[in-house]
Amino acid sequence: MIEEDEVDLVLNDLFELYGYDFTNYARASLKRRINRLFLLDKFPSFAEFRYRLKSDADYIKRVIEGLTVTVTEMFRDPLFYKILRAEVIPSLASKPFIRIWHAGCSTGEEVFSMAILLKEAGLLHKSLLYATDLNPEVLEKARKGIFPIVQMKQYSENYIESGGKNDFSAYYTAQYSQAKFVETLAERMIFSTHNLVSDRSFNEFDLILCRNVLIYFDKYLQERVLNLFNESIGTLGYLALGSKETLNFSAIKPNYKQINKEKIWRRIS
Amino acid sequence: MAENKLKTACKAVVIGGSAGSIEVLLKLLPALSPPLSFALIIVLHRKNSTDSSLVNLLALKTNLPIREVEDKDAAAPGEIYLAPADYHLLIEKEEMFSLDDSEKVNYSRPSLDVTFESAADVYGSSLVGILLSGANADGTAGLNTIKKKGGIIVAQKPETAQSSFMPQQAILYTPIDYVFDVEELTVFVNSLNANA
Ligand SMILES: C[S@@+](CC[C@H](N)C(=O)[O-])C[C@H]1O[C@@H](n2cnc3c(N)ncnc32)[C@H](O)[C@@H]1O
């Protein structure tokens, strides 16, 4: 078991040597992730774990992969996507140009889901989807638009529950155990690394999605990131969070109006 | 004497359960005498991932404030908290909750082990962990951690559980403090309440 003070040492190393700052991540969850990695990689002692961390620059990839949680799915929480379809997207339709930011996009399932919604609304051609994550490995996967075929049954059900009317399987071609999503969906996507802890706002958006990322941050870092979003949302733009995340603790809350009890807020001032 | 010590010490009670646990809670909750001097945290394995009716069902059975946890909610004494479906429920040193959607543990999310272990870290000897009915091995490792950190661990009497496997595992593989049927459990939880 890695204890609290040892966690601090690891975080310090990660920052000093590699520039990754995890100090304001939610500690209980982070400590579990570090312990999990320590057990999975069968280190005989904390000292050896730390030595590997410091002396093997390739191991950092594995550490980032191990400490972050990249679980995601297409049309995750279908009812959320239903509101996107019914309320959010129609209100953006008259814009000459639609900019969307997926912050913490993981392997891209959320971005491809959004592209499908925009496509079906006839808006994809004038949209840009910026998809960012701190982990370059997941972005590499996201860019390919290839997801395991075993997931397609679930995704297709989610899609239908979200109000999808088409044949979901028309959006991909099966290649052995993989489903490759059609190129036209990816044409309007831009993938880039962006660390919410240390990087700045880089554009103004009509919709920012940051789902199931803030749960991994402590309250202080959540507030910083929400301020970053606040700086990056245009007038009447939207902010969408994960199903158990909230603006309630934030000073930016008065500037926003919640839509339909869903975790979607619209900027009103 | 021992009882008084328990009363002042207990800051949180975590109840974990799987198949057959809801009916235990439906009996236990109405029998608790408010206000509670500790936070009551409930973690259940659930089938339906988008099911929010569970908290409504439990709310019908108690006058205590009860809610499904959202990220960074405070874990306050006097309140009942239910782990949401599809997230692990962890507790931070500042006595508030964090959610985590990482891999399932023991085929489960929320996992009882995850919450037991994290609560043990925060509450140490001021924690009581209770394991109810279920057909899964989840919870036993977590109870062991609670015990190691000085807390008290309790299992439902397997003969009274709809699925006896889970409490049975705990009895076999932990130095369990008490094994109770539902009535005994109710008396015990009320005895932890310093406000009662
Ligand atoms: C659980 S996934 C969420 C994926 C998707 N948004 C969803 O809800 O399904 C969390 C993602 O946040 C990313 N992440 C964690 N810390 C981050 C940071 N500081 N900056 C940017 N992304 C981060 C992780 O790499 C991971 O891919």
pLDDT above 50 (res B58):
yes
pLDDT above 80 (res B4):
no
Q: Is the ipTM of this complex over 0.90?
A: yes
Test the B interface: residue of A29, A70, A82 with most B CBs within 10 Å: A29
What integer best gives the mean pLDDT of chain B?
Answer: 93
Distance (Å, whole) CA A122 – CA A265: 24
Asked whether the beta carbons of A98 and A92 are under 8 A apart, the reply is yes
Average pLDDT of span B107-129: 97
Residues near A222 by Cβ (< 8 Å), separated by ≥ 6? A214, A249, A250, B72
Tokens 């638009």 belong to residue: A145
Residues of A in contact with B70 (CB under 8 A): 244-246
Distance (Å, whole) CA A243 – CA A171: 26
Residues of B in contact with A215 (CB under 8 A): 71, 87, 98-101
pLDDT above 60 (res B49):
no
Domain annotation for chain A: domains and CATH numbers: 4-68 (no CATH), 78-267 (3.40.50.150)
CA neighbor of A35 nearest in space, from A65, A7, A5: A7
pLDDT above 50 (res B1):
no
- Interchain contact B185–A (C-beta under 8 A): no
Q: What is the pLDDT of residue B47?
A: 73
B138 a catalytic residue: yes
Going by DSSP bridges, is the β-strand pair A205-210/A189-193 parallel, antiparallel, or unpaired? unpaired
According to CATH, the superfamily of the domain at B12-191 is Methylesterase CheB, C-terminal domain (3.40.50.180)
* pLDDT tens-digit readout, A204-240: 999 999 999 999 999 999 999 999 999 999 999 999 9
Average pLDDT of span A100-120: 98
CB contact under 8 A, A215 and B103: no
Indicate whether residue A107 lines ligand 1 (CB < 6 A): no
CA distances from A28 to A157, A248, B120 (A): 34, 22, 11
What integer best gives the mean pLDDT of chain A?
Answer: 96
Share of chain B above pLDDT 70, in %: 93
* pLDDT tens-digit readout, A126-172: 999 999 999 999 999 999 999 999 999 999 999 999 999 999 999 99
CA neighbor of A216 nearest in space, from A57, A59, A32: A32
Distance (Å, whole) CA A99 – CA A207: 7
* pLDDT tens-digit readout, B134-188: 999 999 999 999 999 999 999 999 999 999 999 999 999 999 999 999 999 999 9
State the distance from the centre of ligand 1 to the C-alpha of A191, rounded, in angstroms.
Answer: 14
DSSP state letter for B106: T
* pLDDT tens-digit readout, B12-46: 999 999 999 999 999 999 999 889 999 999 999 98
Residues of B in contact with A27 (CB under 8 A): 92-93
Residues near B129 by Cβ (< 8 Å), separated by ≥ 6? B13, B14, B16, B116, B119, B120, B142, B143, B146, B151, B152, B153, B154
B18 a catalytic residue: yes
Average pLDDT of span A5-31: 96
Residues near B190 by Cβ (< 8 Å), separated by ≥ 6? B31, B32, B33, B196
